[in-house]
Chain A
């Protein structure tokens, strides 16, 4: 099956701990994205990557970090510097390039930090 996988589905962490969310795609897409979803606020872009070994900050990058060492993988680390990390995190991918092709989303990871 082609698609995007995110793991785990639910994640619980104590305040002050870093946590890494996994995102893998086998669609051969160049571009990958991380969004945060909070109730009533839609999706906000955290980081995106248009090619391996390159990534850019989105609108709310503070307290987050990413890497793109492989085309298929785009893990997101939520650091202890993120003030309000509890949220639903969505990973997406698209063909990429200069045109905004539609994005395909993973099932999401719900992170709860207490």
Chain B
């Protein structure tokens, strides 16, 4: 069975500092990994995905994520945080062909950027 974990409920960062939001996963076979962001009372917005290839994936709004197969992790990063990055972030995983287009979402990490 596939699963995804976001070990931190909340991450607090000062504006201008680098940020990391952690995600670990468990799938049988090759993983397909995603990051989404949700602003209050809104739907989720797609940020980036890893399917195959380069372990460092670049996405929207200056975010990037690093796939680490040995640690089964897919942490979201940004070199310099903005107050406007404050939101709820979800990591998601799919086991690929074995589970068609089903995606499992983590419980979310609330990112708070202080001015």
Contact = CB atoms under 8 A, between A and B. Distances in A.
A103 to B, nearest CB: 7
A108 B42 contact: yes
Given A41-B107, A42-B108, A100-B102, 15 more contacts: A35-B105, A42-B105, A48-B102, A58-B102, A92-B43, A96-B101, A97-B101, A98-B97, A98-B100, A99-B32, A99-B51, A100-B32, A100-B94, A105-B45, A107-B42
Nearest to A48: B102
Interface in B91-114: 94, 96-97, 99-103, 105-108
Contacts, number: 65
16 contacts: A4-B43, A6-B43, A42-B90, A42-B108, A43-B105, A50-B100, A90-B44, A94-B101, A96-B101, A100-B100, A100-B102, A102-B49, A103-B46, A104-B46, A105-B43, A105-B45
